[in-house]
Amino acid sequence: MRLLIVGHLGGQLAVASRMAIGASAKVVHAPDHAVALDQMRTRGADVIMVDVACDIGSFITALRAERFSTEVIACGIGTDAQAAVSAIRAGAKEYVPLPPEAELIAAVLQAVAQDTQAFIFRDPAMGRVVQLVDQIAPSDASILITGESGTGKEVIARYVHSKSNRANEAFVAVNCAAIPENLLESELFGHEKGAFTGALARRIGKFEEANGAPCCSTK
Ligand SMILES: Nc1ncnc2c1ncn2[C@@H]1O[C@H](COP(=O)(O)OP(=O)(O)OP(=O)(O)O)[C@@H](O)[C@H]1O
Ligand SMILES: [Mg+2]
């Protein structure tokens, strides 16, 4: 999962960043909104964590104006209840109190990004699927994975990625059902500067993010 942290990395936010890396997130840092927006336009991220000391309301407004639907997690000194309430009202998905707890950071990132745990199976039928994946994953073939809801299609997709030549590149999951209709085109294909009111700059889409856009720094 690719996490963008926005704010000054002094003290507790740096600790949160290290914990996220420990929870297998690829973390990149932006000191302010402008750098964060630029990061989103050129590389994208799965989740954004913002220090409440930065004005979260205007940041989320700017994000949505450029048609980013990426979830924002607010974080700030735990005792500041007012800041937490304002951040949630401004559109943040969760509030993480600082100093951070490793388990909480991991749980929040997992809940927001819907990252899956390790792939496990016992049934021989699934064993055959895995054999097939091991055969085809190193190729450039497109793979359509079908199955009922909750049967592990995304788990298999991640397994395919882990066995592919792109294993060290970003895995970009897109939950189309969670993206509002008017944002879908920009999210998937990006847009050019001036394409609509609010398109302040060129932005790449999920396909480009998944196809070799420079990845975040650390694991
Ligand atoms: N083989 C597996 N090993 C480990 N976890 C699994 C496995 N199969 C499913 N899960 C777990 O079950 C949940 C649903 O899996 P997943 O999101 O991959 O399903 P899906 O087929 O993509 O569902 P949907 O159609 O609703 O998107 C996840 O929490 C995932 O971690
Ligand atoms: Mg799925």
Please tell me the distance from the alpha carbon of residue 97 to that of residue 185, in angstroms, as a whole number. 34
The finding on whether 157 has its CB within 6 A of some atom of ligand 1 is no
Q: In DSSP terms, which residues pair with 51 in a beta bridge?
A: 75
71 Cβ contact partners less than 8 Å away, ≥ 6 residues apart? 47, 48, 93, 112, 113
Kindly report the backbone phi and psi dihedral angles of residue 19, in degrees, each rounded to the nearest multiple of 5, phi listed first: -65, -40
pLDDT tens for each residue of 169-204: 888 888 888 888 988 999 999 999 999 888 999 999
pLDDT class of 78 with cuts at 50, 70, 90 = confident
Verify whether ligand 1 is closer than 6 Å to residue 147 (CB atom).
yes
Helix (H) or strand (E) holding 109: helix 102-113
Tokens linked to 199: 């398109």
pLDDT of 216 > 70? The answer is no
Query: Could you tell me if 50 and 8 are in contact, meaning their C-beta atoms sit under 8 angstroms apart?
Result: no
Task: Retrieve residue 121's tokens.
Answer: 């199976």
* Per-residue pLDDT, 113: 66
Ligand 1 atom 5, closest CA? 119
Q: What is the pLDDT of residue 215?
A: 47
Domains and CATH numbers, the chain: 2-113 (3.40.50.2300)
Closest protein CA for atom 28 of ligand 1 = 116
User: Which protein residue's CA is at the shortest distance from atom 23 of ligand 1?
Assistant: 150
d(CA 188, CA 174): 9
Counting ligand 1 atoms within 8 A of each CB, the residue from 1, 116, 129, 175 with the most, and so the one to mutate, is 116
